[in-house]
Structure 1
Amino acid sequence: MKNMHVAVCVTGGIAAYKAVIFIRKLIKANAEVKVIMTEEAATFVTPLTFKTISRNQVYYENSQQQGIVEHVELAKWTDIAVIIPATANTIGKLANGIADNFATTCLIAMNCPKFIVPAMNDKMYDNQAVQRNLKQLIEDGYHMLEPDTGFLAEGYDGKGRMPEPDTIFKWVSDIIANKQDLKGKRVVVTAGHTIEAIDPVRYITNHSSGKMGFAVARNAVQRGADVTLISGPSHLINDTGARLIAIRTTAQMYEAVKERYSDADIVIMSAAVADYHVIQPAKQKIKKTGKRLTLELEKNIDILKKLGQEKKAQKLVGFAAETQNLLENGQQKLINKNLDLLVANDVSRSDIGFGSDENEVIFMRPSKENINSPKTNKDDIAKMIFDLITED
């Protein structure tokens, strides 16, 4: 961020106060910041506050100096632009090329990386028009950070809360620091575990935390991809910048992946899915009536194998979590499921794999030598995956 010219556009949402903290972080990172405000934003935080924090003139309606085409001059000055918070109104204008105020005029004139942080009520965020506009902005090259689920201004929990300034700053910084070799690519990532109901209280699952899949999605976003993250239940916060599709069962995960598979360039199946489901889950909680309980299980669809059979131009990456015969089982999976890359790891070790922040893996590719990674954090493993899959 050092010496970078950052234009921060603040629009009229209650989360505008968080923009002050975000700008402070930019200043501490030695960036030069100029703030653009909509007229509505100035009703939440005064221009004087942003002028004091940024130590620069604040741009807003009726602030233009005579004789200077300020929106053009500011566009030339800017290295990156961040819209925080981004309201549904401003999102709609930008998606449709409407420049009817100083903020939208500036943003449309800017030819630089743009980062948009939507924040609004959950009902507004879920509206089809808003989702359509966000999709258009992503297609136009905007980087979008998905809102958090949390306590909203309306007094209840819902999706639409603006992420914390620390999260936003890290997201922007990581994207700037990374090469953009996935620009224009569509990436689908699965993460975490799936669950299969036994009764309304109990279910079958595994120990996968989702950390590896979230790291993969995060790195793909940082490298410029349009990313969809399909995850089973997880306690992780979606700070990846990817669109999150939440599922529970293996069948739901398959349907979510299948819907996006034909349009994807790269699909990375890092989720640990349940291989079986109970044929007839009990409708009521099963009581302890005997020493033994027998469950009749039926095999779930093998998602990875199905994708391998239907693969056309996509690059398909799978994971093998093994407790024995890692190389033999991994090689067999690589071939049988028609993968471009297999990431094999020994989950019998307590220091790596499920639930850990670190991993140590073997990368396997058809007709190529295996590559052993060092023991390192999962973000580094994610970088290695994309370095390999984009090598050819």
Structure 2
Amino acid sequence: MLEGVNVALGVTGSIAAVKTVELAHELRRQGASVRAVMSGSATGIIHPWAVEFATDNDVVTEITGSVEHVELCGYDGWADVFVIAPATANTVGKIAGAVDDTPVTTTATTALGADTPVVIAPAMHEPMYDHPGVLEAIDTVSAWGVEFVDPRVEEGKAKIASEDAIVTDIARAAGDRPLEGDHVVVTSGATGEAIDPVRVLTNRSSGKMGREVAKACYVRGADVTLVHGLVGPRSITSDGAVAQTNPDGTVSYATLRSVESADAMLEATREACTDADTLVSVAAIGDYTVDSSAEKIRSGQDLSLSLEPTPKLIDEIRDDHPELPIVGFKTETSGDEAAMIAQARETLERAELAFVVANDASVMGAEQTNALLVHDADAARFSGSKAGLAGEIADSIATLLESELTDTA
């Protein structure tokens, strides 16, 4: 996600500074080069040697005659983005007032003056985060174009955001934004149809692909609505077992609408699409529903279920929005490429889709995928990670919307 990106990492005196090593490692795993700047208070919490080890670069702990702040974040500076993680209330207030009394605040002022993108991940006790002056400082700095990664408010603390959330916002700040101003709706996960109060008909979808698509569109500048269903039955050790980025059930890269049934997913998607520029229908929506029993069905008896078909979401949305670009997904179990393409083309033509992503059901819950992007005239093959495929899909959407904008100009 951050291949070739130079990240200057500012560390301030929050106890969350202990997470700096993990964050630096994750930035490097995502392809970034990292150089750190630490305030004096931060060095009292985590030793600069630990940060040097994590970044594989010398750490700036004071501004000297080498003008480290300018070399990092000035005009033509080394950094593509300056991220402060964690940022204390004190640091945010100083940045808002252009107070430069630590290496971190001095580097922040330099970055803002040089139009180097800045990302701030606050971490403090909740009453400090709710202080009117702190909120005013956040609003002031946000108005200058600084991206804030919202903290996780738990146990009376505004805890630093997850590494995934910080990395995602850094990628958004540092990259091009071809989907800036566009609203992308993504459906994801499985649906479940209640048989009784404790049993459901569902499928094995983990929602991983849909979440990666939502994230890729967000990184490219889009406002994203993620309509997310259930996570299909998987073992607790499976990669697909945990659906959400944050422990509080939210995601940092999208407005999340959690649903269960196919009908609920259709209604939430229909509402989200009233002002959408694109719909990406990734969810594995159940094809059948059943009349639900109000009481738990007792075990040990012969039982037959009468199944009724559910509405096709893309067909319903197409009827509501004849001009809306829609990307469909088609999952097959045959393993026959020709059959997959044929089924994808049938869906493409029936619902007048922009393109269809066809893959085999064996990729459900996996990190890797083999897929076909089926357009009107061709079928492009993709093999790699789901995150990589999501990037291809987001880039295709950006090209599609740009082409439509050109055609209407």
Same fold (TM over 0.5): yes
Counterpart-to-counterpart distance in 2, 1:65 and 1:281: 73
Assess, with a 3 A threshold, how the Cα gap between structure 1 residues 345 and 298 changes in structure 2: closer, same or farther.
same
Counterpart-to-counterpart distance in 2, 1:308 and 1:277: 22
Counterpart-to-counterpart distance in 1, 2:13 and 2:172: 26
Aligned-partner residue type, residue 294 of structure 1: L
Question: Match of 1:198?
Answer: 195
Counterpart-to-counterpart distance in 1, 2:152 and 2:341: 40
Assess, with a 3 A threshold, how the Cα gap between structure 1 residues 37 and 302 changes in structure 2: closer, same or farther.
farther
> Does 1:334 find its partner at 2:348?
yes
Counterpart-to-counterpart distance in 1, 2:378 and 2:127: 49
Question: Match of 1:285?
Answer: 296
> Does 1:55 find its partner at 2:69?
no
Question: Match of 2:223?
Answer: 226
Deviations 1:207-257 (A, max 9, x none): 112122123223323434333333223424656862262523134433443
Aligned residues: CA RMSD: 4.9
> Comparing 5-14 with 209-218, which one deviates more in the overlay?
5-14
Report if aligned partners of 1:144, 1:241 keep a CA contact under 8 Å in 2. no
SS at match of 2:191: coil
Aligned-partner residue type, residue 344 of structure 1: A
SS at match of 1:82: strand
Q: How does 1:75-86 map to 2 (within 5 A)?
A: 75-76=74-75, 77=77, 78-86=79-87
Q: How does 1:287-306 map to 2 (within 5 A)?
A: 287-288=298-299, 290-295=301-306, 297-306=307-316
CA drift of 1:316 comes to 1.5
Counterpart-to-counterpart distance in 1, 2:372 and 2:4: 40
Deviations 1:351-385 (A, max 9, x none): x43233333333333xx313141444323332332
Assess, with a 3 A threshold, how the Cα gap between structure 1 residues 211 and 122 changes in structure 2: closer, same or farther.
farther
Report if aligned partners of 2:149, 2:169 keep a CA contact under 8 Å in 1. no
Report if aligned partners of 1:238, 1:244 keep a CA contact under 8 Å in 2. no
CA drift of 1:272 comes to 0.7
Assess, with a 3 A threshold, how the Cα gap between structure 1 residues 135 and 271 changes in structure 2: closer, same or farther.
farther
Deviations 1:252-296 (A, max 9, x none): 4334433432333332110111234333342x422125212435x
Question: Match of 1:109?
Answer: 113
Which among 64, 76, 99 is matched to residue 97 of structure 2?
A: 99
Question: Match of 2:319?
Answer: 309
> Comparing 190-199 with 231-240, which one deviates more in the overlay?
231-240
Assess, with a 3 A threshold, how the Cα gap between structure 1 residues 290 and 34 changes in structure 2: closer, same or farther.
closer
Counterpart-to-counterpart distance in 2, 1:178 and 1:381: 18
> Comparing 208-217 with 14-23, which one deviates more in the overlay?
14-23
> Does 1:345 find its partner at 2:346?
no
Question: Match of 1:377?
Answer: 385
SS at match of 1:363: strand
SS at match of 1:262: helix
Which among 239, 242, 246 is matched to residue 253 of structure 2?
A: 242
Which among 239, 247, 254 is matched to residue 266 of structure 2?
A: 254
Q: How does 1:129-144 map to 2 (within 5 A)?
A: none
Which among 20, 35, 45 is matched to residue 37 of structure 2?
A: 35
Counterpart-to-counterpart distance in 1, 2:145 and 2:43: 28
Counterpart-to-counterpart distance in 2, 1:89 and 1:254: 46
Question: Match of 1:273?
Answer: 285
Deviations 1:4-63 (A, max 9, x none): 764333456432221244347769989463526497x6785588986998634436xxxx
Deviations 1:312-358 (A, max 9, x none): 664311112234654444333223323212222343xxxx4323333
> Does 1:354 find its partner at 2:371?
no
SS at match of 1:280: coil
Q: For structure 1, which runs of at least 5 residues remain unmatched after alignment?
A: none
Report if aligned partners of 2:168, 2:253 keep a CA contact under 8 Å in 1. no
Q: For structure 2, which runs of at least 5 residues remain unmatched after alignment?
A: 232-240, 246-250, 404-409
SS at match of 1:228: strand
Aligned-partner residue type, residue 351 of structure 2: K
Assess, with a 3 A threshold, how the Cα gap between structure 1 residues 328 and 358 changes in structure 2: closer, same or farther.
same
Aligned-partner residue type, residue 190 of structure 1: T
Report if aligned partners of 1:321, 1:345 keep a CA contact under 8 Å in 2. yes
Report if aligned partners of 1:51, 1:58 keep a CA contact under 8 Å in 2. no
Aligned-partner residue type, residue 203 of structure 2: N
Report if aligned partners of 1:79, 1:112 keep a CA contact under 8 Å in 2. yes
Deviations 1:100-151 (A, max 9, x none): 6443755643512333445567999999xx99999998997656667679xx
TM-score relative to the length of structure 1: 0.70
Counterpart-to-counterpart distance in 1, 2:343 and 2:4: 51
Question: Match of 1:163?
Answer: 162
Counterpart-to-counterpart distance in 2, 1:228 and 1:138: 22
SS at match of 1:203: strand
Counterpart-to-counterpart distance in 1, 2:318 and 2:356: 12
SS at match of 1:112: coil
Counterpart-to-counterpart distance in 2, 1:174 and 1:73: 18
Equivalenced residues, count: 367
